[in-house]
Structure 1
Amino acid sequence: MKKSFKKIIFTKLFLFSVLGALFVFILGGAIFMRYIFAGLPPVYELEEYTPSLTSKVYDRNQKLIHEFSIEKRSMVPLADIPVDLQNAVVAMEDREFFEHAGLSFKGIFRALLHDAATGRAKQGASTLTQQLSRGVFLSQEKKLIRKIREAILAVQIEHQFSKPEILQLYLNQIYLGEGAYGVKAAAKRYFNKDLDTLTTGEAALIVGLIPAPGRYNPFANPKLAEQRRNLVLQVMKEQGYIKQEELEEAKKEPMPTRQTAAENKPGLYFIEHIRRILEPKYGTETLWKGGLNIYTTVDIDQQTLAENIMNERLQKLDEQVAKGLGIEIDPNDAEAETAAEEDGTLTDPQADYPRLQGAFMVRDVKTGAVRVLIGGRGFDESKFNRATQAKRQPGSSFKPYVWMAALQKKYTPATLVKDLPTMFYNDGRNWRTFNEMSDLYSLDLASQPFISSKDFNVWVPKNYGGRNDGWITLRKGLEKSKNLVAVNLIDAVGVPEVVRVARKAGITSALPRVPALALGVSVLTMDEHLAALSTFANAGIHTDNYYVERVEDANGRVLEKHVSVEDAAFSPQNSYLLINMMKGVVQRGSGTAAARLGRPIAGKTGTTQSHRDMWFVGMTPRTAAAAWMGYDDDTSHEKGARFTGSTAARWWTDIMEQVLKNEAKDDFAVPEGISFAYINPATGKLAMPTERNKFWEAFIKGTEPKSY
């Protein structure tokens, strides 16, 4: 009886122990599975899966000119992926892909046997679906929990998506080395080809990269990459995807070699400028990873030729400066420069052999679309954009704003203006003139009492070359870029009126309210100066420069589209009179280099004090362009060579000869309210019919001279 009771007690205890252990096991398993499933992302996210994509930049003709990307990646539908490439992936990575439900038990068993035989856990057993789940959702670390989650996700993915959808996702996200994600990016990176042009051998090489992109990289290990490619081809043949002759032909294909990127890819200053515009607007993540399509205004062909011509011309001017400084060295001969350094004849090449810098811009007169933007010589040397970031004195290229102010004060191109010496003095509050004086000697005498006084500042401007012609027409004053005419005009119309004109034209930089403003002592950026002067060529209508036509997201949705805003800043009549006078600068003045183009061009040169800045801005009815040259340290190198705005006009012309070759040679349209009359260019009065030097001048109707 006692034994029976003990047996019952023991049996019950045993059962309780088993049940307890089973409960603990089940509870532990439940907790473990909860932990496993808690770390699983929802598989339906694959439907909206957007990997890090490349944002592409196009020029005005839809040419791809740049890519913003951290990863080189492009999404492409399965129908656009070559069948050979699809077959190669299935043959090498998952030959049972179309049969299993996410897991390959044959593969797992095969891997276990291999690992047992070798004593190392190296043999992979992952299906394409498992690789996809790992690549999209999970880390690459080799942990049991990760492998379990990978297997569960693979089964869920197989349940949610079709085989073609899984294969498409896989081929678009797999990493293939050299920063390339997906087969399209790999085709471009290794072969510089589109997917649909890949050969069988090229497709096999790309697939061969999958297990170890660094190891099988054809640029780093060409022999190993070739062996791997041939292995892929052999497996494809064994599985019936290609025939023996196709195998032999593909094995003969040459291995790709790394393409050397151009040191100075054209348009980099333009690209950097639009990055500065778009990155704050859309954010770094979206610009660099969002797959944007950015359609810009630049004409990359014009940009390329403009860069080449500018660099070539400025290099020749550099050599001219070096020769003037007595430096006998070939700038293209690195050995000569090294030798010169070693024997002490060239101790500091940068100082002894100054390097001119330049900037150049082309824009559409009417819309403001920027076609060419060059910020300097060599983006790799300096990212600083001298067209949009540098502020330099415009010199005499500022004078059109003064002339417009005069036109608005009822001056005409035939109005006689003073090309006479003038002395300005500042009494501590305002600038005033001694306008009763008529010669420099008298002005020098008159200025003596003020020079020694601390309460007065004295300024006696002069014409370039020191010559003055007395009273001349407003037109001649602009054509010959007379400084004395400019300062006398600003004194007559008022500095505030000139500032107002410059502001309406589009100048946003600070403008000093001094008479010297007429000579361009302010500092401006090229882009604002070009946009402002283009206002006059556009019948007085101002439009801002712009660089981006539209931006689309990765799905083609338009995020922004440029809409030009026009501002009627000046009357068409006054704008035409000014442009007509600026045409004279090219025909008879300091910009005659541009006359070589044989078309109507309105322009203005500019040279600042001590030849620190040299400008030329020229315009046709459709296209405006600006050229600047100078030194970054803002110093003058007059000892080597004395350059002027006319120097800039010459290489401006060389570039624009190519830019304008397909543009009609139209003249600026004459607006209503304009009349023409023959005048005497010396007196500004009507010319007699028999006069030989009479000039056909434009006027606003009713303002023509009345006397002969």
Structure 2
Amino acid sequence: MAKALKILFILGLFGTLCAVGITYAIYYSVKDRIPTVEELKDIELRIPLRIYTADNLLIGEFGEQRRTPISYSEIPPNLEHAILAAEDTNFYHHPGVDILGLGRAVMQLVTTGQIQSGGSTITMQVARNYFLSFEQTFTRKFTEIFISLKMERELSKHDILELYVNKIYLGNRAYGFEAAAQVYYGKNLSELDLAQLAMIAGLPKAPSRFNPVANPSRALIRRNWILQRMLSLGMIDKDAYQNAVESPITAKNHGVMPDIEAGYIAEMVRAELYNTFGDNLYSTGMTVYTTIDSKRQKAANEAIFNGVLDYDMRHGYRGSLEKRTDLINAPLEEQKKALQDIGRFKNWQTALVLSTTNTTADVRLANGERATLPWEAVKWARSYINEDSQGPYPSKVADVLVPGDIVRLRPDNKLEWLLAQKPSIQSALVSLNSKDGAIQALVGGFNFFENKFNRVTQSKRQPGSNFKPFIYASALDRGYTAASIINDAPVVFNDRNLESAWRPTNDGGKFYGPTRLREALYRSQNIVSVRLLEELGIRPTLNYLSKFGFDPDDLPYNLSLSLGSANLSPLQIATGYAVFSNGGYQVQPYLINKVIDRNDNVLFQASPATVCVTCTPLEKTTDDEPQMGLFDTPEGIVSLPMAPQVIDPEVNYIIYDMMRDVIKLGTGRRARVLERDDLAGKTGTTNDVRDAWFSGFNGELVTSVWSGFDNSSPLGRGEWGGSVSLPAWIDYMRDALQGTPLSFVTKPSSLVTVRIDPNTGERALPGQSNAIFEIFRKDHVPPQRNLNLPTLNNNRDSESREEKQETNALENLF
């Protein structure tokens, strides 16, 4: 007996030594794959780039792995219980490995030669997800065990569970439970009920097989099994269990749900940051805060959308997408498939016309529902002939629709559905805070997801008359006044920089004769602009235009410059108009305000040159540094670069006042509907109406709108900047300025106002009945007229010393 015990002891000792030896051998072979303590405690998740508005609404997300990390304290108790019930009931009691589970895995390995069920604890799953691959090998499994044991020594159970809920893959590109809540339910994790939490807790085992969107029946079985486990383990009571198992499946693919539509902005930010950070941009958890105001961005989206559709509808209906009479009596599923194959557009529906009467059309929607279109939903649809011509208005529904037509419908607040078509025209809007250049709203086209070309920054189009205010500002700076007279009469220019003799005309072919500059601007008279540039000289004018941020080398060196023949982007135009808006200071547009990393460290903070007339300047340390100023902000007193003043404030105010008349009296009269006296602006329409513009501003906000076809086709007879782009500008500014006080451009106290003769621009005679008031710089006031002397011409800088003395004496009376 003693001998047998001795033999058993020796065998046991030998077996133990062999086990230790084998274990050491395995450890030695995999030790290089075991992370250090520092690596365990410095685990970083792959977190996507997220882009927000200035008021913290999500614009977009970039990264293959959708993840939103949360701390242990943010894990809902029911989720923790569901995870433990589904994956590792003994989590809080084992040392990182489950001996029984591993025993089962070893038996499977011995009998089948493969690892089938790994017996993995939550700790082992964390080890595999963070440090290992998913290959089914003996070596990997032992490495996983060693890492798990080490993790349990170095990290708390709460730390391990936190890593698990943030890393585990849950299908549909969702990594972590917070991301899964967003993807499957469109909610934060804290907003999910017990049934929903149990549903996503069932995903780690097999994200595809138990996916509630792809396999709802299997997902339901898995969910209810987890709920049963929670009940049996005392994690929930019977009432909670019963309510949860009776809950229907509510999951669907929500994807990444931005808070506001701003695809062009998100792409601008991504492209700019990629140049600095490369591919790390998509995984290191950067957060970008832009300058975008969400209220104004929403207003811009709606303004462009409605403006484009309004233009498209008044140019006629181009007909159905397809004609499928074979579908009229086809089974429902066949109808749905045919309609869904065409594809949706925004929140519109594709529909099949089943039957029509004189006043209605019965249609099948792509979602399977039936709807009735009333006459009001189709009566707009004159047939499209070309951009200049449309057919007669229809008199009944059958004039527009016939059974078998496949058409598009868009939602309508009054009619439910309205007959629609995808427009081919494009439009773009950009809006800046003129005091520092912060972009408040930007829409680069009608639909980003269909066409990502950003017309605000990438498209260079002719601004037409939208460019004239810059020419007029140059004239005022050179001594002209708003009352200066230019003869609006036919003229032929033999400019050597033009290919042939040029005979510019006004829109409509009408000529107005001698015209004051103020009138010429608000009427948008072309001849006056051309003659004015000829008098000023092209080279001096180009030099002056650089003050607005334009590169003279990018502008034409000929008289067509006066009519806006340069190719410029809407952002360039808006930047130039910002000078008029802010009192004569040059600012640079910017979109990114701040970039922070995953630990809230600031990687970038914008420091824009800012307009602040009352700021206290600081002393410069070197000649190369920009002048700094103190600014009182919501965050306190800050020091920022001061924007350079590039335009004489007197010149700037007079141009502003002249452009206010564009809205009061001229081509921008539609904007009077806003009932704001602080607004100024200018329309722009190019030859053959290929580009239509409106740019306008008050003392704080400047907005430019462009409309046209990408292929530069004409917009059609009767269309102008005032009919295509101005309505969108009005709609945007109505919302953007709602609740804001009037903001006028500051009027310099040195300016004087005198009465003039509206026909000659000269000083009005005493008692003249048709005299009007005009604003002048002190040194450019027309001389007092003498009834006994011939009428004096307005020669701007040619006043005699006696005339100036008389003028100055009169000015002292004002």
Please say if 1:276 is aligned against 2:319.
Answer: no
Aligned to 1:500: 543
Aligned in 2, Cα 1:388/1:337: closer, same or farther, shift over 3 Å? Answer: farther
Secondary structure of the residue aligned to 2:136 is coil
Distance 2:422 2:197 in 1: 52
Aligned to 2:694: 616
1:423–1:458 Cα contact (<8 Å) kept: yes
Please say if 1:135 is aligned against 2:129.
Answer: yes
Aligned to 2:775: 698
Distance 2:403 2:663 in 1: 40
2:171–2:208 Cα contact (<8 Å) kept: yes
Q: CA deviation at 1:392?
A: 0.2
Please say if 1:634 is aligned against 2:634.
Answer: no
Select 2:102's aligned residue among 108, 114, 127: 108
Q: CA deviation at 1:335?
A: 7.1
Larger displacement relative to structure 2 (508-517 or 644-653): 644-653
Which residue identity lines up with residue 626 of structure 1 in the other structure?
Answer: S
Which residue identity lines up with residue 624 of structure 1 in the other structure?
Answer: V
Please say if 1:673 is aligned against 2:717.
Answer: no
Aligned to 1:658: 735
Which residue identity lines up with residue 563 of structure 1 in the other structure?
Answer: S
Aligned to 1:369: 438
Distance 2:189 2:18 in 1: 56
Aligned to 2:41: 47
After TM superposition, the structure 1 = structure 2 runs for residues 10-409 of structure 1, keeping only pairs within 5 Å, are: 33-111=27-105, 121-259=115-253, 266-286=261-281, 288-322=282-316, 323=384, 324-326=388-390, 339=405, 355-409=424-478
Which residue identity lines up with residue 220 of structure 1 in the other structure?
Answer: A
Aligned to 1:568: 645
Q: Which structure carries more relative contact order (alpha carbon 8 Å, separation 6+)?
A: 1
Aligned to 2:671: 594
Aligned in 2, Cα 1:559/1:474: closer, same or farther, shift over 3 Å? Answer: same
Aligned to 1:519: 563
1:329–1:336 Cα contact (<8 Å) kept: no
Distance 1:375 1:295 in 2: 19
Map Cα deviations across residues 397-440 of structure 1 (whole Å, 9 max, x no partner). 1111111111111111112223233322145xx67xxxxxxxxx
Secondary structure of the residue aligned to 1:165 is helix
Distance 2:165 2:253 in 1: 24
Secondary structure of the residue aligned to 1:181 is coil
TM-score by length of 2: 0.75
Q: CA deviation at 1:64?
A: 2.0
Which residue identity lines up with residue 514 of structure 1 in the other structure?
Answer: N
Distance 2:141 2:658 in 1: 80
Q: CA deviation at 1:678?
A: 2.2
Distance 2:657 2:772 in 1: 13
Which residue identity lines up with residue 655 of structure 2 in the other structure?
Answer: L
Q: CA deviation at 1:103?
A: 1.4
After TM superposition, the structure 1 = structure 2 runs for residues 374-453 of structure 1, keeping only pairs within 5 Å, are: 374-427=443-496
Secondary structure of the residue aligned to 2:507 is coil
Aligned in 2, Cα 1:79/1:260: closer, same or farther, shift over 3 Å? Answer: closer
Aligned to 2:411: none
Which residue identity lines up with residue 557 of structure 1 in the other structure?
Answer: N
Secondary structure of the residue aligned to 2:508 is coil
Larger displacement relative to structure 2 (412-421 or 181-190): 412-421
Map Cα deviations across residues 217-249 of structure 1 (whole Å, 9 max, x no partner). 111111211111111111111112111122112
Which residue identity lines up with residue 559 of structure 1 in the other structure?
Answer: L
- RMSD of equivalent CA atoms: 3.0
Secondary structure of the residue aligned to 1:541 is coil
Aligned in 2, Cα 1:264/1:208: closer, same or farther, shift over 3 Å? Answer: closer
Secondary structure of the residue aligned to 1:465 is helix
Aligned to 2:726: 649
1:267–1:300 Cα contact (<8 Å) kept: no
Aligned in 2, Cα 1:264/1:517: closer, same or farther, shift over 3 Å? Answer: farther
Distance 1:329 1:166 in 2: 70
Distance 2:22 2:97 in 1: 25
Secondary structure of the residue aligned to 1:215 is coil
Distance 1:381 1:56 in 2: 22
Which residue identity lines up with residue 699 of structure 1 in the other structure?
Answer: F
Larger displacement relative to structure 2 (642-651 or 151-160): 642-651
Distance 2:781 2:671 in 1: 30
Distance 1:28 1:234 in 2: 41
Distance 1:104 1:354 in 2: 63
1:115–1:123 Cα contact (<8 Å) kept: no
Aligned to 1:462: 505
Larger displacement relative to structure 2 (115-124 or 92-101): 115-124
Select 1:603's aligned residue among 661, 681, 704: 681
Amino-acid identity (%): 32
Aligned to 1:349: none
1:677–1:698 Cα contact (<8 Å) kept: yes
Map Cα deviations across residues 156-176 of structure 1 (whole Å, 9 max, x no partner). 111111111111111111111
Q: CA deviation at 1:120?
A: 7.9
1:373–1:387 Cα contact (<8 Å) kept: yes
Map Cα deviations across residues 93-139 of structure 1 (whole Å, 9 max, x no partner). 11221222121112223555688899985333111111111000100
Which residue identity lines up with residue 266 of structure 2 in the other structure?
Answer: I
Distance 1:493 1:561 in 2: 43
1:65–1:300 Cα contact (<8 Å) kept: no
Aligned to 2:14: none
Secondary structure of the residue aligned to 2:501 is strand
Aligned in 2, Cα 1:701/1:338: closer, same or farther, shift over 3 Å? Answer: farther
Map Cα deviations across residues 475-526 of structure 1 (whole Å, 9 max, x no partner). 1121111111111111111111221222110124710110111111110011
Aligned in 2, Cα 1:595/1:189: closer, same or farther, shift over 3 Å? Answer: same
Which residue identity lines up with residue 494 of structure 1 in the other structure?
Answer: G
Aligned in 2, Cα 1:308/1:247: closer, same or farther, shift over 3 Å? Answer: same
Distance 1:166 1:329 in 2: 70
Distance 1:182 1:478 in 2: 61
Distance 1:463 1:118 in 2: 90
Q: CA deviation at 1:366?
A: 1.0
Secondary structure of the residue aligned to 1:211 is coil
Distance 2:448 2:192 in 1: 34
Aligned in 2, Cα 1:579/1:57: closer, same or farther, shift over 3 Å? Answer: same
Aligned in 2, Cα 1:334/1:49: closer, same or farther, shift over 3 Å? Answer: farther
Aligned in 2, Cα 1:329/1:415: closer, same or farther, shift over 3 Å? Answer: closer
Aligned in 2, Cα 1:130/1:259: closer, same or farther, shift over 3 Å? Answer: closer
TM-score by length of 1: 0.86
Larger displacement relative to structure 2 (94-103 or 308-317): 308-317
Distance 2:721 2:463 in 1: 12
Map Cα deviations across residues 452-495 of structure 1 (whole Å, 9 max, x no partner). xxxx8311212222222222212112111111111111111111
Distance 2:216 2:19 in 1: 54
Larger displacement relative to structure 2 (511-520 or 691-700): 691-700
Q: CA deviation at 1:571?
A: 1.4
2:170–2:176 Cα contact (<8 Å) kept: yes
Q: CA deviation at 1:382?
A: 0.8
